[in-house]
Structure 1
Amino acid sequence: MQLSIVIPLLNEKESLIELHDWIAQTMQSNHFLYEILFIDDGSTDGSWETIEKLSAEHTPVKGIRFLKNYGKSQALHAGFAQAQGEVVITMDADLQDNPEEIPELYNLIKNEGFDLISGWKKKRYDSVLSKNMPSKLFNWAARKTSGLKLHDFNCGLKAYHSKVVKNIEVSGDMHRYIPVLAKNAGFQRIGEKVVQHQARKYGTTKFGAERFMKGFLDLMTIWFVSKFGRQPMHLFGALGVLMFFVGFAFSIYLGIDKLFIHKTGRLITDRPQFYIALTSMIIGTQFFLAGFLGEIMVRSKKNENTYAISKKINL
């Protein structure tokens, strides 16, 4: 199979039929062998019933329904696990992504040799204050932290070689950083393409301003995981040794001062250096133990799904 189109959604009933017809028309006009995987992330508006109807009428349509709303990352994880295409396309279900971009995205992966192509919504139809400005700040921070020169990390329209989606684990709220996850997994041919962005036709956005705060926190998480996730002892152990050394040095100083310089001076416990030494050694020991426990957890970690599927269609 050439293409798998993975579409996570939450309460997008009004858009689904129009989106499907638009995708199908594009696929058929380009003679693609394809599948469409709708991942219903706990919709309550009848979206799943629409997916069932589409799957009954169109063989390429497949569906996964979550028991409740788990989040976009978990929806993508489930879709990636089921995708069978050589190239995997992700897009949003709100009609703001244009399916006519897919043939060129496919060509960049299949024929140009890219591992991942991220869309860049250069011209947006969102509110400047609530989305555009925070998005620019967020993307700037992501570029500086990750080293990837992408303009729009959060664009839902992306294309992947199948080996990428089968070798990364998208969890938490890490869907914003799939290019970073791919880079950390060893995939280096990551590019971007300017894509069209359309104004939302139905409903309202499911993401509020708080997503940017979560995004920045996730950015710090992924930076830490990429640097020290496999060997946490390299960070916590080093900090622990440094803090313990500082405390031990103060202890030596206090001992020498008491034994050889101010023999009849005040008690060691009356001096502030004593508490600096004690606190530093305790914190250093705790840091070292945190690194040790982190190493044990990394080596004993088992891959576990963080979502529950209630139904599947054509899978």
Structure 2
Amino acid sequence: MNLSIVIPLLNEEGSLSELHQWIVKVMAENNFSYEVIFIDDGSTDASWKIIQQLAAANPSIKGIRFHRNYGKSQALHAGFAKAQGDVIITMDADLQDSPDEIPGLYTMVTTGGFDLVSGWKKKRYDSIVSKNMPSKLFNWAARRTSGVKLHDFNCGLKAYKNIVVKNIEVSGEMHRYIPVLAKNAGFAKIGEKVVIHQARKYGTTKFGMERFINGFLDLITIWFLSRFGKRPMHLFGALGVLMFLIGLGSAVYIGAMKLYKLYHHEKAILVANNPWFYIALVTMIIGTQLFLAGFLGEIILRTKNNEERYKISETL
């Protein structure tokens, strides 16, 4: 099978039929063998009913329905697990991503040598204040932090080799950072393609300004996980030892000064009245706690079980 098209969605009843027709047209024009996997992330409208109708009419349509809304990352995780195509395309269901871009993305993966190709919505039809400007700031920070030189991390239109999606773990709200996850997993050939961005035709956006706050918090998380996710002791242990040594040095200083004054028969102040006593005490306690945090992190990392992140109520 050439292509698996993975489409997460939430309350997109107005666009699904039109999107399906558009995808089928592109697949027929390019003679692709394909499957389309719709992941209904807890829609409360008629989205799942429409997916059932599409699947009944077209055997290439598959569906996954979540018991409730779990988020885009969980939807992509479920879609990636089900996908069987040589190349996996992800796109949004709101018709802002054009299926006409699929052949170009497919070619870049199959003949261009890329493990992953991300779309770049160079010309956007979103609000400048609520989306464009925050997106530019967010993408700049993501480039600087991750080292992945993409202009549009959050573009839903992406293409992957099958081996990539089977070897990355998309959880939380990490769908924004799939290229970073891929790079950390050893898939460093990441390309970018300018794609058409269309104005939303049906419904309303499911994302507000809070997604950018969450995005920056997730950026810190992905930075930490990429560097210390497999070895938390290297961070917490190192900081703990450093803090403990600062405290120990302060304690040695206090003791040395006390002995010095006693040896020279000078009047020495009480240890409890010496500010260095509190510096030593606090830093040694913090150092011990940081070291224990790293130690516990190592234990949890080695004993954790894969938790159930979502519940699927129906599949097609």
Return the TM-score normalized by structure 1.
Answer: 0.98
The residue type paired with residue 268 of structure 2 is G
In 2: Cα distance, 1:82 partner to 1:121 partner: 27
Instruction: Give the CA RMSD over aligned residues.
Output: 0.7
Match of residue 199 from structure 2: 199
Once the two structures are TM-superposed, the CA of residue 266 in structure 1 deviates from its matched residue by: 1.4
- 1:196-275 superposed matches below 5 A: 196-261=196-261, 264-275=267-278
1:109 aligns with 2:109: yes
Once the two structures are TM-superposed, the CA of residue 265 in structure 1 deviates from its matched residue by: 1.5
**Structure 1: which 5+ runs fail to align?**
none
Match of residue 119 from structure 1: 119
Once the two structures are TM-superposed, the CA of residue 259 in structure 1 deviates from its matched residue by: 1.3
In 2: Cα distance, 1:183 partner to 1:261 partner: 60
Match of residue 185 from structure 1: 185
The number of equivalent residue pairs is: 313
Once the two structures are TM-superposed, the CA of residue 302 in structure 1 deviates from its matched residue by: 2.5
Once the two structures are TM-superposed, the CA of residue 156 in structure 1 deviates from its matched residue by: 0.2
In 1: Cα distance, 2:158 partner to 2:260 partner: 70
In 1: Cα distance, 2:113 partner to 2:85 partner: 16
In 1: Cα distance, 2:261 partner to 2:146 partner: 53
Tell me which of 283, 291, 299 is aligned to 1:296: 299
Match of residue 91 from structure 1: 91
In 1: Cα distance, 2:112 partner to 2:210 partner: 37
In 1: Cα distance, 2:269 partner to 2:304 partner: 52
1:309 aligns with 2:312: yes
1:287 aligns with 2:285: no
Moved more, 95-104 or 254-263: 254-263
Return the TM-score normalized by structure 2.
Answer: 0.98
In 2: Cα distance, 1:46 partner to 1:305 partner: 27
The residue type paired with residue 289 of structure 2 is Q
In 1: Cα distance, 2:308 partner to 2:188 partner: 27
Match of residue 142 from structure 1: 142
Match of residue 54 from structure 1: 54
Match of residue 129 from structure 1: 129
The residue type paired with residue 83 of structure 2 is A
In 2: Cα distance, 1:231 partner to 1:189 partner: 25
Once the two structures are TM-superposed, the CA of residue 260 in structure 1 deviates from its matched residue by: 1.8
Once the two structures are TM-superposed, the CA of residue 304 in structure 1 deviates from its matched residue by: 2.6
2:307 is paired with a residue of what secondary structure?
coil
Once the two structures are TM-superposed, the CA of residue 111 in structure 1 deviates from its matched residue by: 1.3
Q: Deviations over 1:44-81 (max 9, x none)?
A: 01100000000000000000000000000000000000
Once the two structures are TM-superposed, the CA of residue 195 in structure 1 deviates from its matched residue by: 0.2
- 1:61-76 superposed matches below 5 A: 61-76=61-76
Tell me which of 276, 279, 289 is aligned to 1:276: 279
Moved more, 260-269 or 31-40: 260-269
- 1:145-160 superposed matches below 5 A: 145-160=145-160
Match of residue 28 from structure 2: 28
Q: Deviations over 1:179-233 (max 9, x none)?
A: 0000000001001000000000001000001000000000000000001000000
In 2: Cα distance, 1:105 partner to 1:258 partner: 73
1:43 aligns with 2:46: no
- Give % identity: 70
In 2: Cα distance, 1:86 partner to 1:44 partner: 33
In 1: Cα distance, 2:216 partner to 2:283 partner: 30
Once the two structures are TM-superposed, the CA of residue 299 in structure 1 deviates from its matched residue by: 1.3
Q: Deviations over 1:85-109 (max 9, x none)?
A: 0000000000000001001111111
The residue type paired with residue 254 of structure 1 is I
The residue type paired with residue 116 of structure 2 is L
In 2: Cα distance, 1:286 partner to 1:269 partner: 23
In 2: Cα distance, 1:170 partner to 1:204 partner: 25
Once the two structures are TM-superposed, the CA of residue 306 in structure 1 deviates from its matched residue by: 0.5
